[in-house]
Structure 1
């Protein structure tokens, strides 16, 4: 894959070149016995592990140990548990705690009665005792219904804590100690949910603190922090932040094939050349909005994608950027996402016939093939490195850290996660 770095402003081009040289160095350097690792890092180095990773992707918790990614993570968030009007439910019992065939993380045989991903997480935590594992709960309708009354909030929180934090999965099967907290993936509270969402988070914090007091432990509470004024304006950001350890702030999906024109999917900054600049679809606007609303910088953890979004039928003007398209880009048959307009970083690294282009103003990268008129927007080690610099310097003391969606979509070496971790150290 050929490389073309824009050099319109020498100092910014130099930054890209320097980052390109430094990233491989930090990825390849050996770990020293006394070198600080995730056990005492101050920044969050997080990643989402999807329960369905074990199916089409063939990606297991054991992969995180084998490729060294687990050594770099401070937080792993498991997606998803189901949020229902009455509490929580297991989304996939086979993947979560019944599958006896998953590869061992530690080399020890799974003896049951706990199997599946939860048993693998249990082994991972034995190897990495300071790694924090959270269960992510999803289901907008369930959250909305449960949050609408005090009784509903109390019942939901109690049930979710009992199922996942206390680990009461089924008769004779316990996952106690697997999860260190709860992540609320409410996409998205409506205007009618605004006050109730705050009350629900307060209830989660109250009950988690009560359990923590009894167990002499702090249980984590995090929440997906959406981009887009139309989304985060429905959340009382400062008050919700008081209940949270941190927001997982959306740093991706600013553009995609729900639109007919190409654009950057995860740009850090804006540019007047962007036809959609008035929409404020970029990371710094989102972060600035949360800060201005009163959210402390250390409670903002920036999301980084490990997948690309793409279009086809794109004219070569501007190497395809800000151009019309005829539809989503086709995906290679080997890509396990099997979704038009989306491929993993793993797949993207194997593409041929493309030229790589950097947008130094927006801190963004894309691939374009004039032969097939195909355009892919994504993050690579250079943009990830520069985004971690932004995390470290955006406010005094820096933001809280960064995370990826999702761990399975990185390349086999975990390059994006390792770059992120190196940049945050």
Structure 2
């Protein structure tokens, strides 16, 4: 019998109950803290808003206010600004600060000359004065070139701060006060970038602190923390961590349709039955590696995905898990990502014909439809709640919190984001 995928916990009492029974086992794992518990410091509840959300997804900053997600966030990261060899640049001027047609967040029309997403963020911050907003910078080649010399690092950082933190966008257009800091999304430093990456982060910290001293304000500095050892091994994790407020630690894309076999995309733990077990593609390995490298637990903020990765041509053995496929799963025409093997959590909640399977070893969930031989790996409210337990208990005082990639891909109510926030209270 096929089952519909439901998004609310009340409709999944049995699954949630089974998951709850796993918590004592979960807490008893040797890798977890001996004395788990809440700390007194509030946890980060973050989310990435992509500038292009306003186009094909029709998702705006105003949606965060309307569905109550903004009430739950402590940090919002705007993606992306461009990192070029000579400095920072606007990636999409229309979306960022020129579009006058975006819905108002507060109900007050945008007066200009600042429009677009930046004006919407300005309104959002007025409604939520404790919300911290960062600009995320992207561009591996730009980072690498800029970081390769002291002069390049100094000029690059100065450019980024001037453009985004000071808000000097264009003649007569200012976004001063919109951004409270910078997120470095360098995917990924190579072995030749290792030392220079540390030096670049030190330059960011130096210049942000100097500006903060003048403004009597602390400016945030964060960095995307790669999940795979092949990438995080190219960072001096402890030294970089000393410059940061926290790492936004990748907790997803451990597996996907770049591989021909199915697997969990965001599992908490390993499984000896996993054919790829030797690759250590699971969250606990990533977290343990950062901790052992000397990064404090409070500086690790765990990423949670709001999308699914899927395969087709998958046999029903083991409910489709760890099985060969013929290719990426087709996506419903309504899914705005329009990418084979990838759909939003919003789309997942409307799928029919699938059966949900909870993996008690890996604390992960998947869907399988034997009639179409299609398998999807994703996170639901149960696995998200379990991940918040992990964040709160992994080390004494807990990890730093969790973030969502990406806000637009959640369901209309913001269920994944709100579940994360509730679990970290």
Give the corresponding residue for 1:266.
266
Q: Distance in 1 between matches of 2:413 and 2:261?
A: 33
* Contact in 2 for aligned 1:3/1:357 (Cα 8 Å): no
Q: Distance in 2 between matches of 1:165 and 1:383?
A: 36
- 1:180 correspondence with 2:180: yes
* Contact in 1 for aligned 2:4/2:351 (Cα 8 Å): no
- 1:309 correspondence with 2:312: no
SS of structure 2 residue aligned to 1:275: coil
* Contact in 1 for aligned 2:4/2:350 (Cα 8 Å): no
Give the corresponding residue for 2:385.
385
Q: Distance in 2 between matches of 1:151 and 1:342?
A: 42
Shift of 1:296: 0.1
Give the corresponding residue for 2:19.
16
Q: Distance in 1 between matches of 2:16 and 2:62?
A: 39
SS of structure 2 residue aligned to 1:57: coil
Measured against aligned partners, the alpha-carbon deviations of 1:384-424 in whole angstroms (never above 9, x if no partner) come to 00000000000000000000100000000000000000000
Structure 1 unaligned segments of length 5 or more: list them: 5-11, 21-39
Give the corresponding residue for 1:206.
206
TM value normalised by structure 1: 0.92
Give the corresponding residue for 2:404.
404
Give the corresponding residue for 1:216.
216
Measured against aligned partners, the alpha-carbon deviations of 1:291-341 in whole angstroms (never above 9, x if no partner) come to 000000000000000000000000000110000000000000000000000
SS of structure 2 residue aligned to 1:77: strand
* Contact in 1 for aligned 2:257/2:311 (Cα 8 Å): yes
Alpha carbons of 1:112 and 1:65: their partners in 2 closer, same or farther (altered >3 Å)?
same
Alpha carbons of 1:323 and 1:288: their partners in 2 closer, same or farther (altered >3 Å)?
same
Give the corresponding residue for 1:151.
151
* Contact in 2 for aligned 1:165/1:179 (Cα 8 Å): yes
Q: Distance in 2 between matches of 1:388 and 1:360?
A: 16
Shift of 1:2: 5.0
Give the corresponding residue for 2:299.
299
* Contact in 2 for aligned 1:88/1:159 (Cα 8 Å): yes
Alpha carbons of 1:13 and 1:125: their partners in 2 closer, same or farther (altered >3 Å)?
closer
Give the corresponding residue for 2:325.
325
Alpha carbons of 1:118 and 1:3: their partners in 2 closer, same or farther (altered >3 Å)?
closer
Q: Distance in 1 between matches of 2:22 and 2:351?
A: 22
Give the corresponding residue for 2:242.
242
Alpha carbons of 1:394 and 1:261: their partners in 2 closer, same or farther (altered >3 Å)?
same
* Contact in 2 for aligned 1:223/1:246 (Cα 8 Å): yes
* Contact in 2 for aligned 1:358/1:365 (Cα 8 Å): yes
Q: Give matches, 1:80-229, under 5 Å.
A: 80-229=80-229
Shift of 1:14: 4.7
TM value normalised by structure 2: 0.92
Q: Distance in 1 between matches of 2:359 and 2:41?
A: 31
Shift of 1:16: 1.1
Greater RCO (CA < 8 Å, at least 6 residues apart): 2
SS of structure 1 residue aligned to 2:270: coil
Shift of 1:225: 0.2
- 1:255 correspondence with 2:255: yes
Shift of 1:41: 6.7
SS of structure 2 residue aligned to 1:309: strand
* Contact in 2 for aligned 1:19/1:382 (Cα 8 Å): no
Structure 2 unaligned segments of length 5 or more: list them: 7-14, 24-39
Q: Distance in 2 between matches of 1:18 and 1:213?
A: 50
Q: Distance in 2 between matches of 1:227 and 1:73?
A: 23
Give the corresponding residue for 2:50.
50
* Contact in 2 for aligned 1:44/1:75 (Cα 8 Å): yes
Shift of 1:359: 0.3
- 1:283 correspondence with 2:286: no
Give the corresponding residue for 1:230.
230
* Contact in 1 for aligned 2:5/2:350 (Cα 8 Å): no
Q: Distance in 1 between matches of 2:254 and 2:294?
A: 23
Kindly report the root-mean-square deviation, in angstroms, between the aligned alpha carbons of the 2 structures.
1.5
Shift of 1:19: 9.4
Measured against aligned partners, the alpha-carbon deviations of 1:223-280 in whole angstroms (never above 9, x if no partner) come to 0000111100000000000000000000000000000000000000001000000000
Alpha carbons of 1:151 and 1:3: their partners in 2 closer, same or farther (altered >3 Å)?
closer
Measured against aligned partners, the alpha-carbon deviations of 1:52-93 in whole angstroms (never above 9, x if no partner) come to 000000000000000000000000000000000011000000
* Contact in 2 for aligned 1:19/1:385 (Cα 8 Å): no
Q: Distance in 2 between matches of 1:342 and 1:81?
A: 24
Q: Distance in 1 between matches of 2:95 and 2:264?
A: 34
Measured against aligned partners, the alpha-carbon deviations of 1:341-364 in whole angstroms (never above 9, x if no partner) come to 000000000000000000011010
Q: Distance in 2 between matches of 1:15 and 1:87?
A: 51
Q: Distance in 2 between matches of 1:303 and 1:153?
A: 28
